[in-house]
Amino acid sequence: MTEISDGNALKARASELVDRARVLRQEIAKSIVGQEELIEHLLLAVFAGGHVLIEGLPGLGKTLLVKTLAECTGLESSRIQFTPDLMPADVTGTRVIEDHEGNRAFRFQKGPIFSNLVLADEINRATPKTQSALLEAMQEASVTVANSTFELARPFSVIATQNPIELEGTYPLPEAQLDRFLFKLEVQISSEDDLVKILGSTTGTPPPARHEVLSGHDLIEIQDIARQILCGEHLLRYVAALVLASHPNPSSDPQTQRLVRFGASPRAGQAIILTAKVRALLDGRPCVSREDVDATTLPSLLHRVVLSFEADAEGVGVRELLAGWRQAADQAGQD
């Protein structure tokens, strides 16, 4: 690919797309009060071409956020309401018999996964068998049915919402599927001031219609340009050391050995670097900084580290362990 610095036309196009990305964020903020960090991280993941898992209690606006994003990007979107009786064919599609002038033949009827933006609503209310129907689509951007493989069109992102796993009627997502999500984002309850704004805006006159800001082609361009952002080897080594520090082994610190069962996969490092590149692009910089890496580390690791029972009992999560992993990665860079 051509580097951003090689052509004025490409630089001008990149600048235009960055400006429109800022407008997109402002447009989404008209419907989603507060939650600035949540919106920022969601856009980083979508601009990187990845999938997002959004977790939060019911009624916090998870579904509204995704629907707003679809409207403001003009993407072909679909919504799958995950329930315990949902079957894999309800997601991917199925073969049906067609009768044409007396001749019967099978035809593949595409399911809702064949969209640019797929909202998998309350994904952890479906059984693991149905959840796994997304595995190939999320990793290979394709669907295989009856020995036939169908490619999914770009851009393609799955944005799944889930309620906290402790709630009744939920099933934990398999680790293999969790690893395919670029980010895991947690929706927090709004502040009092934001809640007042929400109550006022949702109980008054309907809000104005949202405008399309970016097209699917624009998103593909952003995804391609972001990969051209430079990332120094020292940052690549830092991220590699950070991922390794999350694994319990004889050389790791005692807290990690005791509280972590399995560390993050290489996909975590890929997610950190790729979204850091998007963050640098949106800030108008040609190179990734340490600040970009630090900003994208937690949502990349949050769902990829499997903690021990001791960690659950002590209320210790990835957030609390991350500081030690960063310190170990910094130390590895100095050695």
What is the dihedral sign for C-alpha 74, 75, 81, 85? Answer: positive
Note the pLDDT of residue 260: 93
CB 131 within 8 A of CB 24: no
CA dist., res. 116 & res. 141, Å (int): 11
Question: How many CB atoms are located within 10 Å of the residue 79 CB?
Answer: 15
CB 296 within 8 A of CB 317: no
CB 277 within 8 A of CB 235: no
CATH class of this structure's domain 228-335? mainly alpha
- Looking from the CA of 227 toward its CB, the CA atoms found within 13 Å total 11
Beta-strand pair 157-162/117-121 = parallel
| Residue with tokens 């963050």, as numbered in its chain | 279
Q: Per the omega criterion (within 30 degrees of 0), is the bond before 164 cis?
A: no
CA dist., res. 14 & res. 310, Å (int): 48
Instruction: Return the SS3 of 43.
Output: helix
CB 241 within 8 A of CB 332: yes
Closest CA to 288 of 330, 243, 329, 232: 232
- Looking from the CA of 325 toward its CB, the CA atoms found within 13 Å total 29
Note the pLDDT of residue 168: 65
**CA geometry: angle 56, 62, 68, nearest 5 deg:** 165
Note the pLDDT of residue 3: 46
Instruction: Mark 147-173 as b/e (b = at least 16 C-beta within 10 Å).
Output: eeeeebeebbbbbbbbbeeeeeebbeb
- pTM higher than 0.85: yes
pLDDT tens for the 335 residues of the chain, in order: 444 445 677 788 888 898 899 988 888 887 777 778 888 999 999 999 999 999 887 777 778 888 888 888 888 889 999 998 999 989 998 877 777 776 777 778 888 999 999 999 989 888 888 888 898 999 999 998 878 888 999 999 999 988 776 666 778 888 888 999 999 998 877 777 878 877 877 777 776 677 788 888 999 999 999 999 999 999 999 999 999 999 998 778 889 999 999 999 999 999 999 999 999 999 999 999 999 999 999 999 999 999 999 998 888 999 999 999 999 999 887 76
Note the pLDDT of residue 197: 78
Note the pLDDT of residue 2: 42
CA dist., res. 302 & res. 200, Å (int): 34
Question: How many CB atoms are located within 10 Å of the residue 303 CB?
Answer: 23
Q: Per the omega criterion (within 30 degrees of 0), is the bond before 286 cis?
A: no
End-to-end Cα separation, the chain, in angstroms = 35
